[in-house]
Amino acid sequence: MNYYSTNGQAPLATLEKAVTKGLAEDRGLYMPERIKPLPKDFFDEMPNLSFHEIAYRVADCFFGEDVPADDLRRIVTETLSFDCPLVKVEEGIYCLELFHGPTLAFKDVGARFMARLLQYFSSPSEETGRGVVNVLVATSGDTGSAVANGFLGVEGIHVYVLYPKGKVSPIQECQFTTLGQNITAVEVDGTFDDCQRLVKSAFVDEEINVHMRLTSANSINVARFLPQSFYYFWAVAQMLNEELRVKNEELKLPYQPESLNRQIVCCVPSGNFGNICSALFGKRMGLPISRFIAANNRNSVFYEYLQSGEYRPRPSVATLANAMDVGDPSNFARIYDLYGHSHEAICSDISGATYTDEQIADTIRQCLRDTGYQLDPHGACGYRALKEGLRPGEVGFFLETAHPAKFKDTVERITGQPVEIPARLAAFMRGQKQSTPMSKDFADFKAYLLSM
């Protein structure tokens, strides 16, 4: 399958080029030429299929023309070495827990898949000698740790993680600054948007690209954001099983959406919008989600677009939900393209919500008090937006995108209750920080890369 640029000024690319280059020559984001719908029999079977099988069937629609079936199954199986369970929080509201991977964040899925697909495509190049692929990734929190750990020790690949100084949690920071080996942390004196700008500028700088092979592991890369659709299908399969179990304990019925009697709503805490974008691709493939809610913190550029029809990016502001501190979300371009540049069409599938730090904190306290469920700041945005936005006849799930322990100090200060640190997270915290300080000036970053 070929891929085109959202800016429409670059030649079509193969999957291999889209993955290894990350960004199109015209600075646009790659989009698949077509989205294949899944057949009815898949949806009939879906509640009885394993996570691996569901993910493989979805992956085959995107990557099956370019990756042999055995290799694609292996990549999917190695990626999903952990579950993404759906947990009932209260009547009509479920939580899709995406923090059971190596770095306790949803980005483990996309990062692990991309690492394996990039390794599949990577081979020595006469042009660059050793053929090392250099991954540049900007992070506002969890992307850095997920990508760094997904690529850690992968032969022929070196990762540079750019993150804003003082604007990620200490626990998040230790997950990508203590690894060493083929992972380099770059501490930028600026915001996430500055980090993202440095990455994008490097991709289109001719001198840098002659000097080294570059790709990105942010959600701008198709191999990062498309696999995130896997867990939306898995969430719906689990919800159907749970909801229908009440009616039929043996669950002998084939899947039929009308059997649920309630429409499914999905609420996604949103920052750079790669996560909800992958869900929208799933809907185009036939996934029975009736509508979506994009939950924002104070960085409400997308929410304001939904209200006004005008997209006005601006510098991000720091909040409790720091992984969503994005003032110019890259994947807006993909959503805009997917819906034919139509504000009306986008609003027909997506509504929005935006919350202050005070509201986020109140929600964390309320949910723990009323349900016993511990939210992180990002999940709190999703839970509140879903709870406030559900209509009669609907059932919904929101995404808990990171383990509350990754924001231990913040959550404990809000609730007054201790948050237990999982063993694998505690192991990161014992490591020694290794990072390279960097200004937000592209000339400095360019000089640094050229010295490598």
Residues 205 and 244 in one domain: no
At residue 109, does pLDDT exceed 60? yes
CA–CA gap between residue 99 and residue 107 (Å, rounded): 9
- Give pLDDT, residue 52: 98
Residues near 294 by Cβ (< 8 Å), separated by ≥ 6? 268, 270, 273, 276, 302, 303, 306, 350, 351, 352, 353
- Give pLDDT, residue 260: 61
Give the percent of the chain with pLDDT over 70: 94
CA–CA gap between residue 403 and residue 406 (Å, rounded): 6
Please tell me the pTM assigned to this model. Answer: 0.87
Q: Which of 102-106, 154-158, 236-240, 313-317 has the lowest mean pLDDT?
A: 154-158
At residue 118, does pLDDT exceed 90? no
Residue 35 in any domain: the answer is no
Residues 148 and 207 in one domain: yes
Residue 98 in any domain: the answer is yes
Residue 19 in any domain: the answer is no
Distances (CA, A) of 356 to 56, 193, 299, 352: 39, 20, 9, 14
Residues 141 and 205 in one domain: yes
Residues 167 and 230 in one domain: no
User: What number is the average pLDDT over the span 284-311?
Assistant: 97
User: What number is the average pLDDT over the span 180-201?
Assistant: 92
Residues 112 and 186 in one domain: yes
Residue 2 in any domain: the answer is no
Q: What are phi and psi of 137, to 5 degrees?
A: -140, 130
Q: Which of 88-102, 335-349, 374-388, 417-431 has the lowest mean pLDDT?
A: 417-431
CA–CA gap between residue 337 and residue 122 (Å, rounded): 29
> If pLDDT is split at 50, 70 and 90, which confidence band does 22 have?
confident
DSSP string of 77-113?
Answer: HHH--S---EEEEETTEEEEE---STTSBTHHHHHHH
Residue 11 in any domain: the answer is no
Q: What is the mean pLDDT of the chain?
A: 91
Residues 191 and 283 in one domain: no
**Whose structure tokens read 């299908």?**
233
Going by C-alpha positions, the residue among 191, 181, 117 that lies closest to residue 149 is 181
> Are 143 and 192 within 8 A, CB to CB?
no
Residues 99 and 134 in one domain: no
| Token output for 401 | 């995108």
Higher pLDDT, 442 or 122: 442
Residues 213 and 236 in one domain: no
> Are 438 and 187 within 8 A, CB to CB?
yes
Residues 248 and 367 in one domain: yes
Residue 9 in any domain: the answer is no
Q: Considering its fold, how many domains does the chain have in total?
A: 2
- Give pLDDT, residue 257: 46
The residue segments making up the domain with residue 154 are 108-220+428-450
At residue 261, does pLDDT exceed 70? no
> Are 55 and 80 within 8 A, CB to CB?
yes
Residues 67 and 122 in one domain: no
What CATH number should be reported for the domain holding residue 85? 3.40.50.1100
Residues 95 and 243 in one domain: yes
Residue 117 in any domain: the answer is yes
Residue 234 in any domain: the answer is yes
Residues 266 and 290 in one domain: yes
- Give pLDDT, residue 133: 86
